Structure 1
Amino acid sequence: MQPRSIPSDIHYMRAMIVNLLMIGEASQGQWTLIDTGIPGFADRIAHAAKQRFGTEKPSSIILTHGHFDHVGSLKALLTRWEDVPVYAHRLELPFLQGDADYLPADPTVGGGLMAELAPLYPHKGIDLGGRVEALPEDGSVPTLPEWTVIETPGHTDGHIALFRERDRTIIAGDAFITVKQESALAVLLQQEEIHGPPTYFTPNWDAAGDSVRRLAALLPEVAITGHGKPVTGQALIEGLDQLAQHFEEKAIPEHGRYVVQS
Structure 2
Amino acid sequence: MVNQLPLSETDLAPTQKSADGTNVIAADLAYRTMSIVNVVFYGDPMGPEPWVLIDTGLSTSADKIKACASLRFGDARPAAIVMTHAHFDHAGSVESLASFWEVPVFAHPLERPYLEGQASYPPADPMAGGGAMTLLSPLYPRSPVDVRPWLKILPPDQTVPGMPRWKWIHTPGHSPGHISLWRESDRTLISGDAIITTGQESAYEAIVQTPEMHGPPRYFTPDWEEAEKSVAFLASLEPELIISGHGLPVKGQNARDKLHRLAKSFRDIAVPKGGRYDLDPAKPGKSGNDAFR
> Shorter-chain-normalised TM-score: which range?
over 0.9
- Aligned AA (2:175): T
1:217: Cα distance to partner? 0.3
Q: CA deviation at 1:235?
A: 2.8
The answer to whether structure 1 residue 90 and structure 2 residue 109 are counterparts is yes
Residue 139 of structure 2: aligned partner = 120
| Structure 1 residues 3 and 39, CA gap change in structure 2 (3 angstroms) | closer
Query: What is the CA–CA distance in structure 1 between the aligned matches of 2:196 and 2:261, rounded to whole Å?
Result: 14
Match of 1:47 among 28, 46, 67: 67
- What is the SS of the residue equivalent to 1:249? helix
Letter of the 1:162 partner, please give it: L
Q: Do the aligned partners of 2:116 and 2:147 also contact (CA within 8 Å) in 1? A: yes
Q: Does 1:243 align with 2:262?
A: yes
In structure 1, the residue matched to 2:130 is 111
In the TM superposition, what are the counterparts of 1:26-175 in structure 2 within 5 Å?
Answer: 26-28=45-47, 30-55=50-75, 57-82=77-102, 84-175=103-194
Give the Cα separation in 2 of the matches to 1:66 and 1:173.
11
The answer as to whether partners of 2:134 and 2:201 remain within 8 angstroms in 1 is yes
Matched, 1:22 2:49: no
The alpha carbon displacement at 1:130 in A equals: 3.1
**2:232 aligned with 1:217:** no
Which deviates the most, 30-39 or 48-57?
48-57
Provide the identity percentage. Answer: 48
Contact 2:11 2:255 in 1 (8 A): no
Partner SS state of residue 187, structure 1: helix
Kindly state the Cα deviation for residue 56 of structure 1 after the two structures are TM-superposed.
Answer: 5.2
Letter in 2 for 1:202: T
Q: Which of 228, 233, 245 does residue 252 from structure 2 map onto? A: 233
Letter of the structure 2 residue corresponding to residue 97 of structure 1? E
Displacement of 1:2: 10
Structure 1 gap ranges (5+) = none
CA distance in 1, matches of 2:254, 2:63: 34
Q: CA–CA distance in 2 between the matches of 1:187 and 1:3?
A: 16
How many residues end up aligned between the 2 structures? 260
- Any conservation in 2 of the 1:46–1:56 contact (CA below 8 Å)? no
Name the structure 2 match of 1:193. 212
Do the aligned partners of 1:3 and 1:234 also contact (CA within 8 Å) in 2? no
Distance change >3 Å, CA 3–CA 181, structure 1 → 2:
closer
Q: CA RMSD in A?
A: 1.6
1:245 partner amino acid: K
**Distance (whole Å) between structure 1 residues aligned to residue 202 and residue 253 of structure 2:** 25
Tell me the secondary structure at the aligned position of residue 46 of structure 2: helix
> CA offset at residue 145 of structure 1?
1.4
